[in-house]
Structure 1
Amino acid sequence: MSSAPSLASPRQVKLACRDLWKLYGARPRDAMAAAMPLVEDKDRLRSELAGSGHVAAVAGASLEVHEAEIFVLMGLSGSGKSTLLRCLTRLIEPTSGKVLLDGEDLLAASRHRMVELRRHAMGMVFQNFGLLPHLTVLDNVAFPLRVQGIEASKRYARAREMIELVGLRGLEGHFPSQLSGGQQQRVGIARSLAVGPQIWFLDEPFSALDPLIRRQMQDEFIRLQKMLRKTIVFVTHDVQEAFRLADRIAIMRHGSIVQMGTPAEIALAPANAYIAEFLRDIPTLRVIKAADVMRPLAADTSPAHVVSGSAVLEEIVPLVLNGTPLVGVQDEAGAIVGQVTAAEIAELARQGRD
């Protein structure tokens, strides 16, 4: 299938890493230097490192995260995704490579500079909610602003805004022990947003929640992103969650990125058998959006039905089953910029079953 016209202009790169490595062992930098001649053959390199008592938790990762996108790091337990996220924030010190935030090399930044960036530019949410049990919801959300030295009236006003944003108005005086798991995670999200971060890091934020609450939190996350347009790095081992939330995905294995792209790009062309196995339970029509596969609108065509470019193809199926031969696709401004035909949807559905 031919590539689709783009609905959006290219986004600016907010965060990038270049050939990032993290080794664990007695002398990681010496081991890295000695193994560099093998850098193009990662299997041999891992064997060489293992022989010297070292393990590569992140192995030559390179990626770019664009402004206002949700970039998901996905992989099985032990694949290196959480270690990579912590290297991007320097909560863990990389062994070698580069990490660039708005072009600034974070690996060259001083400890003081990193503290300032984490306080003002970075928001973080982890699987463990990390709420302070002796503080109320309001005080928990206001806590990072308190650390910044912001006066009480301003920090509490900001905290109340964030509490309302995540749907917890009326619970400001409650303590964490009085909240459900989903409510506690919302407090964690509100707290991380209180500082107005430029970039938001989330590491398995919903994995400790029950399936129904997890789905609700994903819905909440999508709602917040539509409002706030944050740049987000999101870690998960759940393929359904990754494909539901992501603008782009990097799939990791043994510390390396084995495929990177949009959900549609990965679903339509898995790089290898490992990726294909990952995708076995993903319904293709729930992953691919109209904008991913649309063609230019045929001349003198006036579609009877029009959908947003962000609509997944599953939403179009009822129209096709009712006899609609093609559906128009519109951009964010409401202009019709392409079309998807019933025949193309049928072909994609067939591919998903093969």
Structure 2
Amino acid sequence: MTEATTPAITCQNLWQVFGPGANDALAEALARSGGDAEAAAAELRDKGLIPAVQDASFEVREGELFVIMGLSGSGKSTLIRCISQLLPGTGGEIRIEGDNVVGASKKRLTELRRRKLGMVFQHFGLFPHMTVAENVAYPLKVQGVGRKERRARAQEVISLVGLEGREDSFPRQLSGGQRQRVGIARSLAVNPDIWFLDEPFSALDPLIRRQLQDEFLRIQATLKKSIVFITHDIAEALKLADRIAIMRDGKIVQIGTPTEIVLNPVDDYVREFSKDVAKGRHAKVASVMRAGVEEQGPDDPGLTAGMTLDTALARCMQLYQPVPVRDASGAIVGTVQPSDLAAALQVDDT
């Protein structure tokens, strides 16, 4: 694998088992089962141990926004803590840009977190006695960056997250959404290559949450970080992700693009997540088109392969003439444009 194609993160057969003697118990269970993860997990549970993450393997590509989702207790937060080495994995391998970090020294991990990894969690963890600018600049202070330079960098990321004018405010003077923006800015101050976010918006009101999702996408379009984002919300996952990994009982059951998750769920568990999703908002024309050039009609509504089905349908409906609308007695009471019907079903994502 060349440097250009090295994934930002590689997890290979990662396990996290809680309980006394977990390391030895996992090795013995895998040996007895011949590497069968299901059998090994069952043996561990029989011993009273908890296999919170089971044999997880995946890659996060450079610049990719990779979402891990699942219900409470599915293992998603434990998984992100293993990747970031806040928890040492019980078994398997974790590589950060090709460098194996399992068993790395405390000094090496501290250096990684200070210079390469950014982290944002559901609880903001701001210092109440520090201003916004001081909170954001704190990681740079830990690195030994001079006051003038760290203030300039703090101002840069404060502007990036839309908090200009609040630099000298204290956390108690901010709304929940503003405090979360400070947390995001603080994690970006050191310009990390890889960004971990564990349900960062889940404690916020729905409107603020949607606004921060939009802001987050804008930031990612600018910075193009490699991101692992944890959520339990399928709508949030579909809105943000390049790819999604869905977890159940410590196992990854499906990895795919939003379109693949919505249109081709691998089992009833994944299907249940997406059953209420408006498929036309996430599925693309490419997923239903026929390859090659066939005989075409005279109309061309300008469809593209990356267009959502909702948008494509609205474009096609513009080609049709108004149709009559009747009352209960059959009398014509008006007309409707087919394109208006399609437009009324679309959700405004702006």
Q: Shorter-chain TM-score: which interval?
A: 0.7 to 0.9
Relative to structure 1, is the Cα distance of residues 39 and 72 closer, same or farther in structure 2, using a 3 angstrom cutoff? farther
Of the three residues 21, 35, 42, the one matched with 1:27 is 21
- Whole-Å separation in 2 of the counterparts to 1:61 and 1:207: 25
Long gaps (5+) in structure 2: 321-341, 346-350
SS in 2 for 1:99: strand
- Percent of aligned pairs sharing the same letter: 52
Residue 262 (structure 1) aligned with residue 257 (structure 2): yes
Counterpart of 2:112 in structure 1 is 117
TM-score by length of 1: 0.84
SS of the counterpart of 2:266?
A: coil
Instruction: Please list the CA deviations of residues 220-278 of structure 1 after superposition, one character each: whole Å capped at 9, or x if unmatched.
Output: 11111111111100000001101111000000011110001111112221111111111
Instruction: Kindly provide the CA deviation profile for residues 6-44 of structure 1, in whole angstroms up to 9, marking residues without a partner as x.
Output: xxxx96511110000000011001110110032654443
3-state SS of paired residue (2:8): strand
Q: For residues 181-228 of structure 1, give each alpha carbon's deviation from its aligned partner in whole angstroms, at most 9, with x where no partner exists.
A: 111111111111110000000000000000010010111111111111
Equivalent residues of 1:67, 1:231 under 8 A apart: yes
Distance in 1 between the 2:241 and 2:57 partners?
Answer: 18
Using CA pairs under 8 Å that are at least 6 residues apart, name the structure with larger relative contact order, 1 or 2: 1
Q: Distance in 2 between matches of 1:138 and 1:309?
A: 44
Residues 24-69 of structure 1 show CA distances to partners (whole Å, capped at 9, x for unaligned) of 0110011101100326544433331122221100000000000111
Maintained 8 Å contact 2:6/2:97: no
The aligned amino acid for 2:82 is C
What's the counterpart of residue 64 of structure 1? 59
- Unpaired runs of 5+ residues, structure 1, are 1-9, 325-345, 350-354
The answer to which of 143-152 and 274-283 deviates more is: 274-283
Using the alignment, how far apart are the partners of 2:229 and 2:302 within structure 1? 31
Aligned pair partner of 2:41 in 17, 41, 46: 46
- Length-normalised TM-score, structure 2: 0.85
The one-character-per-residue Cα deviations of 1:49-92 (angstroms, maximum 9, x if unpaired) are 12222110000000000011110000000000000000001000
Which structure has the larger Rg? 2
2:6/2:98 contact within 8 Å kept: no
Aligned to 1:142: 137
Superposition RMSD on alpha carbons, in Å?
2.2
> Separation in 2 of the partners of 1:233 and 1:294?
31
Distance in 1, matches of 2:170 and 2:205, equals 21
1:195 corresponds to:
190
Aligned counterparts of 1:199 and 1:256: Cα–Cα separation in 2: 23
